[in-house]
Amino acid sequence: MSIIGSHAARPLAALVAACALVGGLVACADPQEQPPTTTSAAATSASATVPTPGLAPEPSGVAGARVPGEQRAKAASLMVVGVNNYDDALWKLQQGVGGIFITSWADTELLTTPGRNIVALREAVGRPFSVSIDFEGGRVQRHEHVIGPRISAREMAATMSPEQVEHYARELGNSLRWHGVTVDFAPVLDVDAVGLDIVGDRAFSTDPHLAGEYGAAFARGLASAGVTPVFKHFPGHGQASGDTHLELAVTPPVEQVIAHDLPPYSIALKQGGGAVMVGHMVVPGLGDGVTPSSLDPAAYELLRSGNYPGGVPFEGVVYTDDLTGMRAITDRHTLPQAVVAAVRAGADQPLFSSGGDLVAAIDALDAAVTAGEVPGERLDDAAQRVQLQLLSTGA
């Protein structure tokens, strides 16, 4: 069974129009001008307009003009790094990173304190950057005492219709934007496997179709509030042998993953918009069968090509899962090694929350491009996708 395909580039003009549309959505949820809504979670909403997915990079245009010209700065612009507080975030942004990640241990001043919050960072830095957070609901909801608590994906699917989940996620998105967040590492599209409970209540369902329908609805809600949703963990963690935070996990053979774990992506990616996070699980039969998907070119090609039943080509931003907080990676790679391997494989934005040397990671990617280990075109493509996504949220 062939799982590798090719895909054609699409015009940049379409994305510029989409960015203008999303800019309108963002303006409606400007975190500095109006508070988040507090409407009942059970209310039904009309289907929201969703941003067009990021399109294939081109050498000119609005996004191209925003890409740093110098190679090392371009490498830095791909990085999404965890931050502890305002001063830590400011220093990392001054190194040129493309985004900051609000960790669970970050000082809430970044979300709440005038002069020490995201608004102050944007004023101090003077260039676009993304602000991301892990907020799924249930057991994964960072700073819920500030953002407002949400129930788990499983409970959402058990108690709400997809339309109600869309509304529920829009309220979450409004709160995130109010506090300066532009990217949410949610929804989970993993299909929970009965008896394994690896993903558990983080998954919407054990049924692939329902997982896709509810995940797509959650994403529409976030996008309508001006927050980029990130579908995770491609190609699917539900049947994996363990938790990649603790160990290298292995899924069933690729044929089973395609049949069981990819249908939610067929549903969610068809609506357009959003980004994707690639997980650290090994998929036998995909690539060499021993490399984690986040570092495996075959996993990125499968995602980009859409060459699976019902799949569509995907040209948006692709993140790695955390490269520093998960033993599936850290037991085998240093941060600089993991960053280089991920970008070479096809990642646009390596994510690392803690425990790594940012400068060394930037230097390693810069050196790898100079040495030809990472093609210059790969760096250029990733850097333009990053800027396209920033434009889509008005960041």
Which residues carry out catalysis?
Answer: 245, 321
Measured CA to CA in angstroms, residue 36 lies from 30, 128, 133, 171 at distances of 9, 23, 17, 7
Q: How far apart are CA 155 and CA 209, in angstroms?
A: 17
Dihedral through CA 302, CA 280, CA 227, CA 73, nearest 10?
-90
Are 138 and 187 contacting, i.e. CB atoms less than 8 angstroms apart?
no
Q: How far apart are CA 348 and CA 90, in angstroms?
A: 22
Are 162 and 212 contacting, i.e. CB atoms less than 8 angstroms apart?
no
Greatest Cα pair distance, the chain, in angstroms, is 56
Ramachandran angles phi, psi of 206, nearest 5°: -90, -5
The enclosing H or E element of 287 equals none
**Helical H segments across 180-333, by residue range:** 208-224, 254-260, 263-270, 297-305, 327-330
Residue of 232, 316, 324 lying closest to 281 (CA atoms): 232
Residue of 165, 179, 149, 145 lying closest to 211 (CA atoms): 165
Residue of 171, 155, 223, 213 lying closest to 189 (CA atoms): 213
**What percentage of the chain's residues is helix, strand, coil (to nearest 5)?**
45, 10, 45
